[in-house]
A and B are shown apart, each in its own frame.
Chain A
Amino acid sequence: MARIGVFVCWCGSNIAGTVDVEKVREEAAKIPGVVSALDYKYMCSDPGQNSLRNIIKEKNLTGIVLAACSPHMHENTFRKAAAKEGLNPYFVEIANIREQVSWVHEDKERATAKAVDLMKMMVEKVKRDKPIEDVRVPLNKKALVIGGGIAGIQAALDIANGGVEVILVEKEPSIGGKMIQLDETFPTLDCSSCIMTPKMVEANQHPNIKLYTYSEVEDISGYIGNFKVKIKKKARSVVEKDCTGCGECWNACPMHKNIKSEFNVNLSERTAIYVPFPQAVPLVPVLDRSVCLHFKKGGKCQKCYDACGPKCINFDLQDEIIEETVGAIVASTGYDLMDTSMYGEYGYGKYKDVISGLQFERILSASGPTEGVIKRPSDGKTPQTIVFVQCVGSRDPEKGVPYCSKVCCMYTAKHAKLFAHKVHGSQSYVFYIDIRSTSKGYEEFVRSTMEQDGAIYLRGRVSKIYEDEGKLIVKGADTLSGNQVEIAADMVVLATGVIPKKGSDKLAQMLGISYDKYGFFTESHPKLRPAESSTAGIFLAGMAQGPRDIPESVVSGSAAASKILGLFSKNEYEVEGTIAGVNEATCVACFYCQRVCAYNAISRKEIKDRSGKLVKVVANVNPGLCTGCGACVNACFSKSIDVKGFMDDQIYAEIKALAI
């Protein structure tokens, strides 16, 4: 026989001001099975909790109902208090008479009636509660970081320094991401590769980090604490452990024309066997089989092999699949630049001297195609006038994306500044819609570009760029003075917006994490859980989440790392017991539940008899992944899935309590 205690909280005047708490208590006392009813000013206070515990003991209660504030506030408080008296914490139910009653109603009589109803429903529910145990998931204390840009490297280093093994997977032949392509960084103008390479080297040499470059994650299954990962290590055609990075092979390669360098954003050429840049980590070349003469002409050319001292070039190397088990994952896949050739009016791709922001970075860079001397691509002359166009692709719902790419204002100001520093007497014009310079030192940086370095800022978008007598004529507007303006430029730099890395949506599907309509990974909570994905055990970092700059990427990498180290500080991961469970006797294996599950928590389970003969296939809930959302319960035709603590009979009893 149920022995229920009902506790009605006043919450000072928060509840008692609008709800007749004594009436609620009196009504509770009348319900069959309720052996104790009490009202008190602050149930969450120490005296309140003590009286709750005393009554549990005295009356030997089998369940309690708190008519109080939202379960988000104090459910845990009361569950803990009940557990101390030996009651299963899931025998505590909350009737929310504050957020759902007193705060939203004015009429005391009707509010009280509603409070009584909610209390009655919870009494009927608690009578049918069954003990639930929290689920404990063992943790494999090893982490996987996908993407070796600055965010991924930071995450890997922080996790590794915390004493946990890390696997860092990078698609490109070298780690470093976009940051290693940049020249100097705003707002301090420190050289990007100077601050980046030490981190890359540290990641490569760290005893706790295993680096897989030129590799991709092929498949991921499992759940928090126990992810099974398949990594495809693409054939480099170079035996890494033997290679000294001497460079004889790429110097010998006859294919040094017509292969555009990805690292220099098509502004220079590379060989078929190459390192993307001299500071590459690891300093081991990759043989690009799609252009290599050996592979195209049936093995005739092997000049690189002949030149190689340690003979570490192996044309027969094959893709390798590596399997690893990890407990947590960081997704830091970064970004791509938008393709701006859709702006026919700007002539990107048509005029050689209309370039993207990243191309200008490479031109500025000492390791770039012009060795840091500003020369325009068409004729190698040094430009005297450069027009910078901001928001190319960004803030353009018609042709591009509606969001702000966040970094363009700052990198354009940096470009204009460096141009002024490198070409004395030159002039830059910057077309902008708004200038966004909100971090530390950023506003001052932009102002100094205008005031000290003489960049002229025009508030307006550029309508068209065309060539006339060797000049690029830029037609824009200065909306502040209301003038249409025309500027003859030697070069135009488009501040290209950013989009998620190609293929990141596929990865998100593989990981079972959500992403927004643009393809950026979505945080579990935009403000309070910015480092977590929607799936337990998978964390996010860097631009893969949305536009952000270097400091923010570093912070997010460290945040993901600290979350993982926190998770790994225990041996087991505890999940609330209110998750879905399958009645295997009635399950018909239609797997409708699997289709609606947003968390990949449902799999097929084969039930076999002693001889190993297959008896039945049923749905199986993975406790590490299930969040107890209940979508599967609604989808199940045979009523074979229930969420513990929210069983059908409980819900019906609640409804019935309301009807009487």
Chain B
Amino acid sequence: MKTVINEQNRRNFAAQVEAMLHDKLAKCYQCGKCSAGCPVNFEMDYTPNQIIKMTELGMEDKVLNSKTIWLCVSCNTCSTRCPKGFEVTGIMDVLREIAEKKGIVSKVEKEVQMFHEVFLDNVKSNGRIFELELVGKYKLKTRHLFRDMFLAPKMLEKGKLKMHGEKIADLNQIAKIFKDFE
């Protein structure tokens, strides 16, 4: 599909991303080392380096609706290995944030988006993760009640799933972080 570059829109979008990212899009070499090492690249519709280029070119619709930004697991392999020290993981975060704020619901990666929402709710109310609650809420939301059920005994055995959640001492601090951000 043809992309007509509108100079003003391009500048606005690129500037917005750069401001949130605290990094410059022009830094990117387009060498593709990020894409080469990305463990979830095989599921993505655009490779990480393509996302960077398209953001620079102001292809807002394409990047905000991409699967890529939601599939990124923030493992940081890309950023660690980037020869220019570009915040590749960071740009995915920024783009997710912009998408969320704009109310763009990813058609293909809805569940990932739901997971992020449940995860943040969990952090907001506990100050940390309470796995059982997280799993429960996520299952209710996605309605995949029995998916991955067989993992539960193993996780219990290893002490990864606790029956009682813990809250951190000063929840007000967490509330402040969320408030500041919003």
A residues lining the B interface (CB < 8 Å): 385, 427, 429, 450-451, 454, 456, 458-459, 478, 480-488
* A480 in complex: contacting residue of B11, B49, B62, CB < 8 Å: B49
Minimum CB distance partner of B49 in chain A: A480
Contact between chains at A451 and B24 (CB < 8 Å)? yes
Minimum CB distance partner of A425 in chain B: B11
B residues lining the A interface (CB < 8 Å): 1-5, 7, 11, 24, 26-27, 30, 46, 49-50, 53-54, 56-57, 59, 62
CA A137 to CA B46, docked complex, whole Å? 71
CA A427 to CA B6, docked complex, whole Å? 12
Tell me the smallest distance from the CB of A209 to a CB of chain B, in Å: 48
Tell me the smallest distance from the CB of A568 to a CB of chain B, in Å: 50
Contact between chains at B59 and A481 (CB < 8 Å)? yes
CA A206 to CA B6, docked complex, whole Å? 57
* B26 in complex: contacting residue of A454, A459, A484, A485, CB < 8 Å: A454
Contact between chains at B4 and A486 (CB < 8 Å)? yes
Contact between chains at A385 and B7 (CB < 8 Å)? yes
* 13 pairs, A vs B, C-beta closer than 8 Å: A427-B11, A451-B26, A451-B27, A456-B57, A458-B57, A481-B54, A484-B1, A485-B4, A485-B57, A486-B2, A487-B5, A488-B4, A488-B5
Contact between chains at A480 and B53 (CB < 8 Å)? yes
Contact between chains at A481 and B50 (CB < 8 Å)? yes
Minimum CB distance partner of B53 in chain A: A481
Q: Please list the 7 inter-chain residue pairs (A to B) with the smallest Cβ-Cβ separation, ordered nearest first.
A: A481-B50, A481-B53, A486-B4, A451-B26, A450-B26, A481-B54, A484-B2
Contacts of B30 in A (CB 8 A): 459, 480
* A481 in complex: contacting residue of B2, B4, B27, B46, CB < 8 Å: B46
With known contacts A451-B27, A484-B2, A478–B7 Cβ distance under 8 A = no
Contacts of A385 in B (CB 8 A): 7
CA A488 to CA B46, docked complex, whole Å? 26
Minimum CB distance partner of A487 in chain B: B5
CA A487 to CA B3, docked complex, whole Å? 9
Tell me the smallest distance from the CB of A417 to a CB of chain B, in Å: 13
CA A451 to CA B24, docked complex, whole Å? 7
Contact between chains at A483 and B59 (CB < 8 Å)? yes
Contacts of A458 in B (CB 8 A): 57
CA A479 to CA B46, docked complex, whole Å? 13
Contact between chains at B26 and A481 (CB < 8 Å)? no
Tell me the smallest distance from the CB of A260 to a CB of chain B, in Å: 33
Contacts of A456 in B (CB 8 A): 26, 56-57
CA A485 to CA B56, docked complex, whole Å? 13
Contacts of B26 in A (CB 8 A): 450-451, 454, 456
Contact between chains at A482 and B4 (CB < 8 Å)? no
CA A485 to CA B3, docked complex, whole Å? 5
CA A176 to CA B15, docked complex, whole Å? 45
CA A485 to CA B57, docked complex, whole Å? 9
Tell me the smallest distance from the CB of B82 to a CB of chain A, in Å: 14
CA A484 to CA B5, docked complex, whole Å? 10
With known contacts A427-B7, A450-B26, A451-B27, A478–B1 Cβ distance under 8 A = no
Contacts of B11 in A (CB 8 A): 427
Contact between chains at A486 and B49 (CB < 8 Å)? no
Contacts of B57 in A (CB 8 A): 456, 458, 478, 481, 483, 485
Tell me the smallest distance from the CB of A444 to a CB of chain B, in Å: 13
Tell me the smallest distance from the CB of A11 to a CB of chain B, in Å: 48
Tell me the smallest distance from the CB of B42 to a CB of chain A, in Å: 17
Tell me the smallest distance from the CB of A635 to a CB of chain B, in Å: 57
Minimum CB distance partner of B46 in chain A: A481
With known contacts A478-B57, A480-B30, A485–B49 Cβ distance under 8 A = no
Contacts of A459 in B (CB 8 A): 30
Contact between chains at A486 and B46 (CB < 8 Å)? no
Contacts of A488 in B (CB 8 A): 4-5, 7
**What would 19 more interface pairs be, CB under 8 Å, given A481-B53, A481-B54?**
A385-B7, A427-B7, A427-B11, A451-B26, A454-B26, A456-B56, A458-B57, A481-B50, A483-B54, A483-B57, A483-B59, A484-B1, A484-B3, A485-B2, A485-B3, A485-B57, A486-B4, A486-B5, A488-B7
CA A332 to CA B53, docked complex, whole Å? 43
CA A385 to CA B57, docked complex, whole Å? 14
Minimum CB distance partner of A486 in chain B: B4
CA A486 to CA B1, docked complex, whole Å? 11
Contacts of B53 in A (CB 8 A): 478, 480-481
* B5 in complex: contacting residue of A450, A454, A481, A485, CB < 8 Å: A485
Contacts of B49 in A (CB 8 A): 480
Tell me the smallest distance from the CB of B85 to a CB of chain A, in Å: 12
CA A281 to CA B11, docked complex, whole Å? 47
CA A488 to CA B30, docked complex, whole Å? 24
